[in-house]
Amino acid sequence: MGRKTYVSFKTEDMAYKDAIKEIEGFDYVDKSLSDPINSTDEDYIMRRIRSDYLYDSTVTIFLIGERSSQNLGDYEQRFIKRELQASLYTSADHSKNGILGIVLPSMYQRVFGGKFDCPTCGEQHNLVSINDDSVISEFSYNYYIPNGKCFHAEDDRYCVLVRWDDFVAAPEGYIEQAFEKRSAPISSKVKVRP
Protein backbone atom coordinates (compact mmCIF):
# COMPACT_ATOMS: atom_id res chain seq x y z
CA MET A 1 0.00 0.00 0.00
CA GLY A 2 1.22 3.43 -0.84
CA ARG A 3 -0.06 5.64 2.00
CA LYS A 4 1.23 5.76 5.56
CA THR A 5 -1.64 5.65 8.03
CA TYR A 6 -2.23 6.40 11.67
CA VAL A 7 -4.91 4.45 13.57
CA SER A 8 -6.99 6.28 16.20
CA PHE A 9 -8.92 3.88 18.40
CA LYS A 10 -10.32 3.20 21.84
CA THR A 11 -8.59 0.53 23.94
CA GLU A 12 -11.71 -1.63 23.70
CA ASP A 13 -11.14 -1.88 19.93
CA MET A 14 -7.48 -2.94 20.10
CA ALA A 15 -8.21 -6.27 18.37
CA TYR A 16 -9.31 -4.38 15.24
CA LYS A 17 -6.20 -2.21 15.30
CA ASP A 18 -4.10 -5.38 15.57
CA ALA A 19 -6.01 -6.93 12.65
CA ILE A 20 -5.25 -3.85 10.53
CA LYS A 21 -1.55 -4.17 11.36
CA GLU A 22 -1.65 -7.73 9.95
CA ILE A 23 -2.84 -6.60 6.50
CA GLU A 24 -0.06 -7.37 4.05
CA GLY A 25 1.77 -4.27 2.85
CA PHE A 26 -0.03 -1.99 5.30
CA ASP A 27 2.19 0.99 6.23
CA TYR A 28 1.27 2.59 9.54
CA VAL A 29 2.56 4.64 12.44
CA ASP A 30 2.39 2.46 15.56
CA LYS A 31 2.16 5.00 18.35
CA SER A 32 -0.87 6.28 20.26
CA LEU A 33 -1.40 9.45 22.22
CA SER A 34 -1.74 8.36 25.86
CA ASP A 35 -0.44 11.32 27.85
CA PRO A 36 -1.75 14.88 27.64
CA ILE A 37 0.58 17.56 26.28
CA ASN A 38 1.03 20.13 29.01
CA SER A 39 0.16 23.40 27.29
CA THR A 40 -2.75 25.77 26.72
CA ASP A 41 -1.45 26.81 23.29
CA GLU A 42 -3.67 24.87 20.85
CA ASP A 43 -1.32 25.35 17.88
CA TYR A 44 1.62 24.05 19.92
CA ILE A 45 -0.39 21.00 21.01
CA MET A 46 -1.39 20.23 17.40
CA ARG A 47 2.21 20.61 16.16
CA ARG A 48 3.50 18.31 18.93
CA ILE A 49 0.93 15.62 18.21
CA ARG A 50 1.72 15.84 14.49
CA SER A 51 5.48 15.60 15.03
CA ASP A 52 5.55 13.17 17.99
CA TYR A 53 2.72 10.81 17.07
CA LEU A 54 1.41 11.21 13.53
CA TYR A 55 4.87 11.56 11.93
CA ASP A 56 4.63 11.42 8.16
CA SER A 57 1.20 9.78 7.99
CA THR A 58 -1.18 11.07 5.33
CA VAL A 59 -4.37 9.21 6.33
CA THR A 60 -5.85 8.74 9.79
CA ILE A 61 -8.07 5.73 10.34
CA PHE A 62 -10.69 6.27 13.04
CA LEU A 63 -12.14 3.02 14.38
CA ILE A 64 -15.80 3.65 15.18
CA GLY A 65 -16.82 1.31 17.98
CA GLU A 66 -19.16 1.34 20.94
CA ARG A 67 -16.89 3.71 22.93
CA SER A 68 -16.29 6.31 20.16
CA SER A 69 -19.19 8.70 20.79
CA GLN A 70 -19.07 12.37 21.73
CA ASN A 71 -21.75 11.69 24.35
CA LEU A 72 -19.18 9.89 26.53
CA GLY A 73 -17.70 13.34 27.24
CA ASP A 74 -14.58 15.30 26.38
CA TYR A 75 -12.49 13.76 29.16
CA GLU A 76 -13.25 10.18 28.09
CA GLN A 77 -12.54 11.08 24.46
CA ARG A 78 -9.60 13.43 25.05
CA PHE A 79 -7.01 11.32 23.21
CA ILE A 80 -8.97 10.37 20.10
CA LYS A 81 -10.30 13.95 19.88
CA ARG A 82 -6.74 15.30 19.91
CA GLU A 83 -5.58 12.69 17.39
CA LEU A 84 -8.34 13.66 14.97
CA GLN A 85 -7.82 17.37 15.60
CA ALA A 86 -4.11 17.02 14.84
CA SER A 87 -4.98 14.97 11.74
CA LEU A 88 -7.24 17.77 10.49
CA TYR A 89 -4.73 20.50 11.40
CA THR A 90 -2.62 22.20 8.75
CA SER A 91 0.66 23.93 9.63
CA ALA A 92 3.76 25.12 7.82
CA ASP A 93 5.33 21.68 8.43
CA HIS A 94 2.35 19.39 7.77
CA SER A 95 -0.77 19.28 5.67
CA LYS A 96 -3.92 17.69 7.04
CA ASN A 97 -4.50 13.95 6.84
CA GLY A 98 -7.36 12.31 5.03
CA ILE A 99 -9.78 10.76 7.54
CA LEU A 100 -11.17 7.26 7.08
CA GLY A 101 -13.85 6.18 9.55
CA ILE A 102 -14.22 2.42 9.81
CA VAL A 103 -17.51 1.34 11.38
CA LEU A 104 -16.91 -1.79 13.45
CA PRO A 105 -19.49 -4.64 13.22
CA SER A 106 -21.02 -3.93 16.65
CA MET A 107 -22.00 -0.46 15.34
CA TYR A 108 -23.50 -1.40 11.96
CA GLN A 109 -27.13 -1.21 13.10
CA ARG A 110 -26.58 2.00 15.05
CA VAL A 111 -24.90 3.77 12.12
CA PHE A 112 -26.51 2.33 8.98
CA GLY A 113 -30.30 2.64 8.99
CA GLY A 114 -31.28 1.82 5.41
CA LYS A 115 -33.08 4.24 3.12
CA PHE A 116 -35.74 6.88 3.81
CA ASP A 117 -37.96 9.15 1.74
CA CYS A 118 -36.78 12.74 2.09
CA PRO A 119 -39.61 15.14 2.96
CA THR A 120 -37.66 18.04 1.40
CA CYS A 121 -36.83 16.71 -2.07
CA GLY A 122 -38.98 13.56 -2.28
CA GLU A 123 -35.96 11.40 -3.21
CA GLN A 124 -34.67 8.40 -1.30
CA HIS A 125 -31.51 8.86 0.75
CA ASN A 126 -29.40 6.53 2.87
CA LEU A 127 -29.87 6.99 6.60
CA VAL A 128 -26.36 7.16 8.11
CA SER A 129 -26.32 8.13 11.78
CA ILE A 130 -23.01 9.90 12.23
CA ASN A 131 -23.71 12.06 15.25
CA ASP A 132 -22.86 12.51 18.95
CA ASP A 133 -24.34 9.07 19.70
CA SER A 134 -21.89 7.30 17.38
CA VAL A 135 -18.72 9.39 16.94
CA ILE A 136 -16.77 12.36 18.29
CA SER A 137 -17.67 15.77 16.86
CA GLU A 138 -14.37 16.10 14.96
CA PHE A 139 -15.54 13.25 12.74
CA SER A 140 -19.28 14.02 12.55
CA TYR A 141 -18.80 17.69 11.63
CA ASN A 142 -16.33 16.87 8.86
CA TYR A 143 -18.51 14.03 7.58
CA TYR A 144 -21.64 16.19 7.50
CA ILE A 145 -20.08 19.60 6.76
CA PRO A 146 -23.00 22.05 6.76
CA ASN A 147 -24.14 22.69 3.19
CA GLY A 148 -27.80 23.78 3.22
CA LYS A 149 -28.86 20.71 1.21
CA CYS A 150 -31.16 17.93 2.34
CA PHE A 151 -28.40 15.34 1.81
CA HIS A 152 -24.63 15.03 1.50
CA ALA A 153 -23.08 13.62 -1.66
CA GLU A 154 -19.55 12.21 -1.50
CA ASP A 155 -18.10 15.57 -2.62
CA ASP A 156 -19.86 17.27 0.33
CA ARG A 157 -17.97 15.20 2.92
CA TYR A 158 -14.34 15.37 3.96
CA CYS A 159 -14.36 12.18 6.03
CA VAL A 160 -14.76 8.84 4.28
CA LEU A 161 -16.89 6.13 5.91
CA VAL A 162 -16.76 2.36 5.40
CA ARG A 163 -17.94 -0.82 7.11
CA TRP A 164 -15.19 -2.99 8.62
CA ASP A 165 -16.01 -5.92 6.31
CA ASP A 166 -15.77 -3.74 3.19
CA PHE A 167 -12.50 -2.19 4.40
CA VAL A 168 -10.72 -5.51 5.01
CA ALA A 169 -11.86 -6.75 1.58
CA ALA A 170 -10.24 -3.77 -0.23
CA PRO A 171 -8.30 -1.52 2.19
CA GLU A 172 -6.12 0.24 -0.36
CA GLY A 173 -9.06 1.75 -2.24
CA TYR A 174 -10.59 3.28 0.88
CA ILE A 175 -7.24 4.60 2.10
CA GLU A 176 -6.65 6.19 -1.30
CA GLN A 177 -10.15 7.72 -1.28
CA ALA A 178 -9.41 9.36 2.09
CA PHE A 179 -5.98 10.52 0.87
CA GLU A 180 -7.51 12.22 -2.19
CA LYS A 181 -9.87 14.27 0.01
CA ARG A 182 -6.83 16.26 1.17
CA SER A 183 -6.72 18.11 -2.16
CA ALA A 184 -10.46 18.07 -2.93
CA PRO A 185 -12.39 21.38 -2.77
CA ILE A 186 -14.22 20.20 0.39
CA SER A 187 -10.89 20.21 2.28
CA SER A 188 -11.12 24.01 2.54
CA LYS A 189 -14.27 23.63 4.69
CA VAL A 190 -12.76 21.33 7.32
CA LYS A 191 -13.10 22.39 10.94
CA VAL A 192 -10.37 21.22 13.36
CA ARG A 193 -12.27 21.92 16.61
CA PRO A 194 -16.00 22.04 15.86
Q: What is the DSSP string of 105-121?
A: GGGHHHHEEEEEE-TTT
Q: What is the pLDDT of residues 7-56, one digit of tens each?
A: 988 989 999 999 998 887 777 666 665 555 666 666 776 667 666 666 78
Of the two residues 86 and 181, the one the predictor is more confident about is 181
Give the rounded percent of residues in the chain with a pLDDT score beyond 70: 86
Which pLDDT score is estimated for 30? Answer: 62
**Which pLDDT score, from 0 to 100, does residue 90 have?**
86
Whether 125 has a pLDDT exceeding 60, the answer reads: yes
Q: For 53, which DSSP code?
A: I
Give CA–CA dist 49/149, Å, rounded. 35
What mean pLDDT comes out for the span 99-122? 95
For residue 113, is pLDDT > 70? yes
Per-residue pLDDT band for 91 (boundaries 50, 70, 90) equals: confident
Residue 76 has pLDDT above 70, yes or no: yes
Residues 23 and 171: their CA atoms lie apart, in Å, by 9
pLDDT in the model for residue 39: 64
Average pLDDT for 96-115: 96
pLDDT tens profile 148-174: 888 899 999 999 999 999 999 999 999
Q: pLDDT, tens digit, for every residue of 43-69?
A: 776 667 666 666 788 999 999 999 999
